[in-house]
Amino acid sequence: MKYIIYLLPIFIFANDLDFDGVDDSIDKCPNTPFDELVNKDGCTQSYASSATYIFQVGLTQNLSQQTTDTNLYFAYIYKPWEFSISTTSYTMNLTNNVDVKDDIYMTVGYYKAFENLKTKLSFGTRVFSEDAFKIDKIANYLVSLDISYDLSNYSLFGYYSYNFGNGIDSYQNLSIGGGKNLTSKLYSSLSYGYFDSTNQNISSITLYNSYMINDIFYASLSYTHNFDYDYNQNSISFNLGVCIE
C-alpha cells in the first residue's frame, strides 16, 4: 500500500504541467504563469483574490474521561497549493494525574479538480513536544489523500493517511462518508473512520455539522463514537474559524 501512496504524486502531477490545479485534458489555457490565479477552465482569473487565509480554534471534549483538548489551525492557500500548521494540546488523565502533550503538524497540500471530483494530496510531519513552543523531536511523517465528489446538494468524500518514520510503528487512517447542504449555510455529514496500527484497531462514526455565520466566519460541531477504544469512546468537538479570500 505504501508504495502506491509514494507513486501518487507522479500520476497527479503528470497531467497538470502548469501546476494550476486544472487537469490538462480540460485546461483551456495551458502554460498559465505560476503566479496567476485561474478559474475552473485553467484561464487567468484576474479579478480573484491572490490567496485564501484560514484561521481556526477548537475544543474537543472527551465525554468518557471528562478531559478537554484544544487546537489551533492556520492555512494559506495559493492557487492549487495549501500550506498549513496546527497545534493540538492533548490532556490525558493517567491514574488521576493530568498530563498535557503538544503536537505540531506542518503540511503542504496540492489540490486538483476534475469537474465534480476534487482531490488533495498532502505531505507533512508531526512534531512532538512537551511544550508548544519547544520542539523536542520529529515524531513521524505523513502522506494523505482527500477525495470528494459533489453532485447538486450532496457530496461523497474519502480520506486516507499513512504515518511513518523515526523509530515509531507506522499507522494509517481511513474515513469515508457523505453529506448534504441542508440550507445555503448549513452542511451536515456522516462518516465512518478506521484507525489501524500494530497495537490497536479502532472503528468510529462521526456526525459533523458546519454553519456559515456570515461571509467569512464559520462554526462546526461534531460528535464521534469510537467502538473499540474505551478511553475516548465518545467526544464532542467545536470549532470556530474565519476564512478570508
Q: Where are the domains of the chain?
A: 1-46, 49-244
In the chain, what percentage of residues exceed pLDDT 70? 75
Question: Phi/psi of residue 13, each to 5°?
Answer: -70, -25
- What is the CATH code for 49-244? 2.40.160.40
Stated pTM of the model: 0.75
pLDDT above 60: residue 13: no
- C-alpha distances out from residue 221 to 69, 136, 173, Å: 15, 32, 21
pLDDT tens for 164-193 read 876 667 889 999 999 999 999 999 999 999
pLDDT tens for 65-104 read 777 889 999 999 988 899 999 988 766 554 455 555 678 8
Task: Return the C-alpha cell found at 89.
Answer: 494540546
Instruction: Please report how many Cα atoms fall inside a 13 Å half-sphere around the Cα of residue 73, on the Cβ side.
Output: 15
pLDDT above 70: residue 130: no
Own/partner pairs, 143-149, CB within 8 angstroms, 24+ separation: 143/5, 143/6, 143/8, 144/107, 145/5, 145/8, 145/119, 145/120, 145/121, 146/118, 146/119, 146/120, 146/122, 147/117, 147/118, 147/119, 148/117, 148/118, 148/119, 149/116, 149/117, 149/118
